[in-house]
């Protein structure tokens, strides 16, 4: 219970260790788009009024359009995909769950906190991250056939052609979407669960009413009705990911995989590389279970020089 899990982020801890101010640091430890969706003007009552059902309805309409959600799938927004990940194990009776790893570690932690056992041989419940974090692995639809299947597409918006959203109409299946990563607004806290109406109804009870802020309802609806920004972003981050690969491979790293929002490299001693980059105020992600894996997100447009100087 309540054990601190290993994550990206934690820039404050890096600052404590290596010095400098927040502004000095280039935080590449997460997969958050560094060029966020431009903040729209917020209506005055976005902050002051209790979020209205109509605002939720607007957000859900835009989400259904943007992700081409099957009509018979239900949808709910929450304060980040993280809130949904924490709640999902409580929508079913604890049993065994298959979580193909290595992957994002909140899924296993949430199932275990709810009394489930994580097991490679479990057949009734499975969780996949698609594309997978940190290696970018994509899943075949044919392999996702458990009676209770969770498909976490938190990084799926980089490659909508690969989305398995059509499976959201299948009984027992839930697809997760994250807003913070692709739209670069992780502080806003917005995520979605889409799928079997019975499971979504249980999530509704678990999360309680007014579970998303007024600003998140407004900004989410606007961004999800703006496919042009999404298209341009996909083009830009693909170019930046290629530029990152060039820089890293030139410096002796091998590309393992990733998505266009983060890249996973094989290096000689990830901790030593993390330390070297940190001397230049660049923060990276290492993995306790893989001592030669280094994950890097994309720098903002005007911060490439700092990264290049760190090698």
Please give the residue ranges that form the binding site for its own copies (CB under 8 A): 1-2, 5, 7-13, 22, 27, 30, 32, 34, 36, 39, 45-54, 79-80, 82-83, 85-87, 90, 106, 110, 113-114, 180, 184-189, 201-202, 204-216
Query: DSSP string spanning 222-251?
Result: HHHT-HHHHHHHHHHHHHHHHHHHHHHHHT
The residue (of 111 and 265) whose beta carbon lies closer to its own copies is 111
Give the nearest distance from C-beta 44 to its own copies in angstroms.
9
Q: Which of 123, 131, 174 is nearest to 150 (CA)?
A: 174
Secondary element (H or E) of residue 206: helix 197-207
Nearest distance from residue 20's CB to its own copies, in Å? 14
* Residue whose C-alpha is closest to residue 190's, from 203, 177, 201, 204: 177
The sheet carrying 74-78 orders its strands as 74-78, 191-195, 173-178, 148-152, 125-129, 96-99, 117-118
105 or 169, CB closer to its own copies?
Answer: 105
Q: How far is the CB of 289 from its own copies (least distance, A)?
A: 19
CA distance 279 to 283: 9
Distance in angstroms (rounded) separating the CA atoms of residues 287 and 134: 10
> Within 13 Å, how many C-alpha atoms sit on residue 123's CB side?
0
Furthest-apart CA atoms within the chain: distance in Å: 54
CB of 18 to its own copies, least distance (A): 15
Name which of 47 and 119 has its Cβ closer to its own copies.
47
Nearer to its own copies, 73 or 188 (CB): 188
- The distance of closest approach from Cβ of residue 148 to its own copies in the complex, given in angstroms and rounded to an integer, is 17
Closest contact distance (angstroms) between CB of 56 and its own copies is 10
Angle at 178 between CA 34 and CA 230, to 5 degrees: 55
Q: Which two tokens stand for residue 21?
A: 């101010």
Q: What are the C-alpha distances in Å from 271 to residues 276, 281, 285?
A: 9, 15, 9
Q: Which of 43, 41, 37 is nearest to 228 (CA)?
A: 37
Q: For the CB of residue 147, give the shortest distance to its own copies in the complex, in Å.
A: 20
Compare residues 142 and 288 and give the one whose CB is closer to its own copies: 288
Query: With respect to its own copies, which residue has the nearer C-beta, 215 or 258?
Result: 215
Please, what is the minimum distance in Å from the beta carbon of residue 33 to its own copies? 9
Query: Between the CA of residue 90 and those of 12, 50, 202, 204, 249, what are the distances in Å?
Result: 32, 27, 8, 12, 44
CB-nearer residue toward its own copies: 15 or 255: 15
Residue 8: φ, ψ to 5°: -70, -175
Closest CB 82 distance from its own copies, rounded Å: 4
Q: Closer to its own copies at the Cβ: 168 or 190? A: 190
Nearer to its own copies, 180 or 258 (CB): 180
């Amino acid at each position: 219970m309540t054990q601190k899990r290993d994550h990206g982020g934690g820039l404050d801890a890096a600052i404590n260790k290596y010095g400098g101010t927040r502004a000095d640091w280039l935080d590449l430890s997460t997969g958050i788009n560094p060029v966020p969706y431009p903040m729209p003007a917020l209506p005055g009552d976005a902050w002051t009024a209790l979020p209205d059902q109509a605002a939720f309805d607007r957000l859900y309409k835009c989400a259904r359009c943007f992700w081409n959600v099957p009509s018979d799938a239900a949808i709910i927004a929450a304060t980040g995909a993280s809130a949904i990940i924490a709640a999902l194990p409580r929508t079913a009776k604890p049993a065994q769950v298959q979580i193909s790893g290595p992957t994002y570690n909140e899924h296993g932690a949430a199932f275990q906190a709810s009394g489930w056992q994580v097991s490679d041989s479990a057949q009734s419940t499975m969780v996949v991250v698609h594309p997978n974090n940190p290696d970018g692995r994509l899943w075949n639809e044919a392999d996702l056939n458990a009676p209770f299947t969770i498909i976490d597409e938190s990084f799926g918006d980089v490659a909508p052609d690969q989305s398995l959203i059509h499976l959201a109409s299948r009984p027992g299946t839930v697809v997760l979407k994250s807003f913070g990563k692709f739209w670069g607004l992780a502080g806003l806290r917005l995520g979605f669960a889409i799928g079997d109406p019975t499971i979504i109804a249980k999530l509704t009870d678990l999360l309680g009413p007014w579970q998303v802020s007024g600003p998140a309802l407004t900004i989410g609806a606007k961004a999800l009705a703006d496919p042009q920004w999404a298209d341009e972003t996909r083009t830009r981050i693909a170019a930046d990911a290629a530029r990152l690969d060039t820089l890293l491979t030139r410096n002796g790293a091998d590309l393992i995989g990733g998505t266009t929002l983060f890249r996973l490299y094989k290096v000689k001693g990830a901790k030593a590389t993390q330390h070297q980059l940190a001397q230049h105020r660049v923060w990276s992600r290492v993995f306790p279970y893989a001592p030669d894996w280094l994950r890097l997100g994309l720098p903002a447009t005007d911060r490439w020089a700092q990264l290049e100087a760190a090698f």
